[in-house]
């Protein structure tokens, strides 16, 4: 059952209070008070939707009272009864008390009914708008939460693809070494186990320091040099490492370069890492193999999606006949 609107009527004329209560108590929860002190007691004890105050009262004017009410109970709709004919005085009263409506005294029953109905319809509409606004805010927050959870879920899927991808390629290298050079296979497997612990540690974070990523990349190059020796060369120019980067970003590009290119005495692989103002550039010369070596297609696509999810930025890819280049936007460290 819907609760009736609650009205407080303040007037020092007892007859007005009695008439108002007798007529409107059937439709509203009516409270009456002869002075401001009694009105404050009612306001403290009961939720009031609409407050009507007479302007002429002993001790405190209606405007002064409504000003105080506005500061303490701003959601209560306020109206004033006045016998003033001076319009400037009425406007001043409306502005000071932030009054919704003024009613001329003596008030007439038929007019008062219409005034109350319109005022309380305004209250109802205001409450409905407030409710809708709260629902809108809740919906926005809920959508943002779901979007964040979705992005986090997508990132977890992408992150979980990295280790199997790296493990798969390293196992291929180890398989080749076991057949061709068992001694190097032992060295490779020992260093690989140490590096894999590093991968597991970095994989817990969405971003790691550029220093950590470069260290990881150098460790990976060391492993590959066990197989290829000086046929793989890495050169870099990084004047400032005060940045962050998604883990395995550079290492993954180096891994792809080794995986997809012919590496031989006549075709050494030169990998370059350079920095400019806004990007990190990783490039290598191209001598592509005729067929993909069990390619999973994960590496580059994974990196692009992680960058997009984490930063909203896009990586840049450029391929010519001679070189393959990827530019990664630099991410400043959070303070």
**Residue, of 227 and 320, whose pLDDT is higher:** 320
**Which residues make Cβ contacts (< 8 Å) with residue 8, sequence separation at least 6?**
31, 32, 33, 39, 42, 43, 46, 48, 50, 51, 52
Long-range contacts of 316-321 (CB under 8 A, 24+ apart): 316/279, 319/286, 320/286, 321/286
pLDDT at 303: 85
d(CA 152, CA 175): 35
Digit-coded pLDDT (tens) for 110-168 = 888 998 999 888 888 888 888 888 888 888 887 777 666 655 655 564 555 555 666 77
Is 143-332 in the same CATH topology as 6-107?
no
CB-count exposure of residue 222 (10 Å: 0-12, 13-18, 19+): middle
pLDDT at 150: 59
Q: Where are the alpha helices (DSSP H) in the chain?
A: 14-24, 36-45, 62-72, 87-97, 109-180, 182-202, 210-228, 249-260, 299-311
Q: What are phi and psi of 81, to 5 degrees?
A: -100, 125
The structural domains of the chain, with segments of one domain joined by +, span 6-107, 143-332
d(CA 84, CA 164): 85
Which class is domain 143-332?
alpha beta
**Residue, of 42 and 310, whose pLDDT is higher:** 42
Digit-coded pLDDT (tens) for 188-227 = 888 888 787 877 788 778 888 999 999 989 988 988 888 8
The fold of 6-107 is Rossmann fold (3.40.50)
pLDDT at 1: 45
Rg, the chain, Cα only: 38
pTM of this prediction?
A: 0.54
**Residue, of 207 and 280, whose pLDDT is higher:** 280
């Amino acid at each position: 059952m819907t609760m009736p609107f609650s009205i407080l009527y303040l007037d020092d004329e007892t007859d007005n209070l009695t008439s108002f209560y007798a007529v409107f108590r059937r439709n509203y929860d009516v409270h009456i008070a002869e002075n401001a002190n009694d009105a404050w007691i009612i306001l403290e004890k009961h939720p009031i939707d609409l407050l009507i105050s007479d302007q002429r009262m002993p001790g405190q004017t209606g405007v002064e009272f409504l000003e105080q009410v506005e500061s303490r109970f701003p959601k209560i709709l306020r109206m004033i009864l006045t016998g003033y004919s001076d319009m400037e005085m009425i406007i001043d009263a409306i502005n000071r008390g932030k009054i919704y409506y003024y009613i001329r005294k003596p008030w007439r029953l038929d007019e008062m009914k219409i005034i109350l109905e319109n005022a309380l319809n305004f209250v109802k509409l205001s409450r409905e708008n407030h409710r809708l606004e709260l629902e809108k805010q809740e919906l926005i927050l809920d959508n943002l939460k779901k979007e964040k959870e979705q992005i986090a879920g997508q990132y977890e899927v992408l992150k979980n693809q990295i280790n199997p991808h790296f493990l798969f390629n390293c196992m291929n290298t180890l398989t080749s070494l076991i057949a061709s050079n068992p001694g190097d296979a032992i060295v490779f497997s020992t260093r690989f186990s140490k590096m894999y612990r590093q991968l597991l540690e970095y994989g817990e974070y969405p971003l790691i320091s550029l220093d950590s990523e470069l260290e990881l990349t150098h460790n990976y190059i060391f492993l590959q040099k066990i197989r290829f020796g000086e046929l793989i060369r890495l050169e870099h120019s990084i004047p400032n490492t005060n940045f962050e980067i998604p883990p395995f970003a550079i290492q993954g590009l180096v891994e792809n370069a080794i995986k997809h290119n012919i590496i031989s005495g006549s075709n050494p692989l030169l990998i370059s890492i350079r920095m400019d103002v806004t990007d990190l550039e990783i490039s290598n010369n191209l001598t592509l193999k005729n067929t993909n070596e069990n390619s999973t297609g994960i590496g580059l696509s994974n990196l692009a999606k992680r960058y997009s999810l984490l930063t909203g930025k896009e990586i840049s890819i450029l391929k010519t006949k001679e070189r393959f280049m990827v530019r990664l936007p630099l991410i400043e460290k959070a303070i």
